[in-house]
Amino acid sequence: MRNLFKIAIRNLLRYKRRTLMTASLITIGVVFVLAYISIAGSFKNMMVAQITDSSLGHLQVHRKGYMAAVESLPLNMNLKPRPYKILEDTLKSQPEVEAYSPRIRFGGMFSNFVETTSIRLNGVYPDREFKTTPLLPTRIIKGEKHLNRGEILVPELLSVGMGVKPGDAIVIVTTNKDGSVNGKQFKVSGILESAQGPGGRDGYINFEDAMEVLRMEEVEVSEVAIRIKDFSQESAFTKKLIGLLGKELNQKGKPIFDVHSWEKLSPFYNIAQMIDVMSIFVKVMLVAIVLISIMNVMIMAVYERVREIGTIAAIGTLPKKILAMFVIEGFSLGVLGVVIGNLIGLSIIFVLNLSGITFDFGRQTGLILRATIAPLDVVIISGIVILISVLASLQPAWKASRMEPIKALRHV
């Protein structure tokens, strides 16, 4: 095997310019793919993190049918104490769950005593909400980063439109599920920056305040946002939770709960999917580059060395060794391109991170691009290139190994 490699590498060195050009093509392809995947992947992950950690959570559980009517925030579709207890017990027993936060979502009127407008509110337990959506405190751009009883976090756009600032008093007026109207005065504790995704422009009050203003006698929740420890396991955990909660049926024998992952709740998921599809296209382009360039160079190599193939076949080299000789040549070319490509690609990623490039997304500005690539992705890309190099060499190598020595020796 060592000798096969020696011969293959010397043959590559024999045509230095051609080897360099082919390896350069592969290198450019690998660099492009690494750079694209690291930037696009990081952009996607950052945006997903922004969405899930700012307001949405990794997944949410609602009463069955709630999401179909979510636009009207129906209070009569809240989870009652018994099903909520079932849900809470289930979540507490799951080791994957890092935190969860029950919410009462409702709409109301927001008054600064001069003018009035509509507002959507979340009644939350602040400590649990901050654990479930850890970027929520960072969205508080003015005021205190806490939410005590009697306080409200006002969305930025509303604060600008209504001219309110931290410390101001405002009134929330709402109707409960029975249709009776109630109002409560709040102190503005902070101004909340808008976030992408559903609920990103809602205000926040304390859970007990929400119960009070809605005249709730017992705990009812509109939704429970859940944060899991390992986001890569989100899909598996969603399936698990659907399985666990799917067993819980109401008196009519129908499921009580509906489990939604962030993908189903956020329109950004379609953009994320588009990024994934584009990544696949970029990888397919890399495969095509490697396949065509290696195949081309190996066909040339076989054509140019017909007499040499005839000679080694005549002196008794078995066809499988001739095949191996050319496949190893293609393999070595692929490895050369991959090694240089990885070195340059990873250096570019390092430089990109050093330069601190920023970008804007929606109303969020100055997001720093952190280009990262998982070691597994590097291994997979390298593996694909090397595998394609070997596959591309197979046909020319097969042709070489099947040559009749007598015809090959006559070749001019």
Partner 1 sequence: MSLVIAKDITKNYQIGEVVIPAIRGLSFEIEPAAFVSFIGPSGSGKTTLLNLVGCLDKPTDGHLTVAGADVSTFTQKKGAGFRGEHIGFIFQDFNLLPVLTVYENIEYPLIMVQNVPAPERRERIQRLLDAVGMLDQKDKYPDQISGGQKQRVAIARALVTHPKLVLADEPTANLDSKTAHTVIDLMKKMKNELKTTFIFSTHDTKIVGEAEIIYVLEDGQLVSRNVQGGNNNA
Q: Two tokens at 259? A: 């489990």
Residue 208 binds to partner 1 (criterion: CB under 8 A): no
- CA dist 300 → 4, 78, 142 (Å): 19, 71, 68
Pick 101 or 401: Cβ nearer partner 1: 401
Q: How far is the CB of 280 from partner 1 (least distance, A)?
A: 40
Span of 52-60, 77-85, 186-194, 397-405 interacting with partner 1 by CB under 8 A: 397-405
Pick 7 or 344: Cβ nearer partner 1: 7
Among 215, 321, 370, 399, the residue binding partner 1 under the rule CB under 8 A is 321
The interface mask with partner 1, positions 259-298, x = CB under 8 A, is ----------------------------------------
Residue (of 289, 103, 128, 283) closest to 198 by Cα position: 103
Among 249, 278, 314, 357, the residue binding partner 1 under the rule CB under 8 A is 314
DSSP letters of 289-330?
HHHHHHHHHHHHHHHHTHHHHHHHHHTT--HHHHHHHHHHHH
Distance in angstroms (rounded) separating the CA atoms of residues 44 and 263: 13
Q: How far is the CB of 6 from partner 1 (least distance, A)?
A: 8
Q: How far is the CB of 306 from partner 1 (least distance, A)?
A: 12
| CB-based contact 376:279 (threshold 8 Å) | no
Residue 114 binds to partner 1 (criterion: CB under 8 A): no
Distance in angstroms (rounded) separating the CA atoms of residues 387 and 393: 10
Pick 85 or 410: Cβ nearer partner 1: 410
Among 308, 346, 348, 367, the residue binding partner 1 under the rule CB under 8 A is 308
Residue 82 binds to partner 1 (criterion: CB under 8 A): no
- DSSP character for 56? I
Residue (of 199, 222, 124, 209) closest to 171 by Cα position: 209
How do beta strands 223-228 and 59-63 pair? antiparallel
Residue 68 binds to partner 1 (criterion: CB under 8 A): no
Distance in angstroms (rounded) separating the CA atoms of residues 193 and 367: 14
Pick 75 or 313: Cβ nearer partner 1: 313
Q: How far is the CB of 12 from partner 1 (least distance, A)?
A: 9
Residue 399 binds to partner 1 (criterion: CB under 8 A): no
Among 307, 357, 362, 363, the residue binding partner 1 under the rule CB under 8 A is 307
Distance in angstroms (rounded) separating the CA atoms of residues 204 and 201: 10
Distance in angstroms (rounded) separating the CA atoms of residues 68 and 89: 26
Among 74, 107, 134, 405, the residue binding partner 1 under the rule CB under 8 A is 405
Q: What's CA 28's distance to the chain center, in Å?
A: 26
Span of 152-160, 234-242, 311-319, 343-351 interacting with partner 1 by CB under 8 A: 311-319
Q: Where do runs of H (alpha helix) occur along 195-266?
A: 207-213, 234-245, 262-265
Residue 391 binds to partner 1 (criterion: CB under 8 A): no
Pick 92 or 320: Cβ nearer partner 1: 320
* Site of tokens 């001069």: 114
Residue 315 binds to partner 1 (criterion: CB under 8 A): yes
Residue (of 228, 220, 194, 222) closest to 59 by Cα position: 228
Among 282, 319, 344, 395, the residue binding partner 1 under the rule CB under 8 A is 319
| Footprint (CB under 8 A) of partner 1, residues 9-28 | 10-11, 13-14
59 forms bridges with which residues in the sheet? Answer: 226, 261
Span of 214-222, 296-304, 337-345, 403-411 interacting with partner 1 by CB under 8 A: 403-411
| CB-based contact 255:249 (threshold 8 Å) | yes
Span of 73-81, 134-142, 248-256, 399-407 interacting with partner 1 by CB under 8 A: 399-407
Pick 179 or 316: Cβ nearer partner 1: 316
* 281: number of Cβ within 10 Å: 10
Residue 402 binds to partner 1 (criterion: CB under 8 A): yes
How many amino acids of this chain bind partner 1 (CB under 8 A)?
24
| Those residues with Cβ within 8 angstroms of residue 350's Cβ, 6 or more apart along the chain or in another chain | none
Residue 1 binds to partner 1 (criterion: CB under 8 A): no
Pick 239 or 307: Cβ nearer partner 1: 307
| CB-based contact 245:256 (threshold 8 Å) | yes
Residue (of 338, 343, 345, 277) closest to 32 by Cα position: 345
Q: Which residues bind partner 1 (CB under 8 A)?
A: 3, 7, 10-11, 13-14, 307-308, 310-319, 321, 402, 404-406, 409
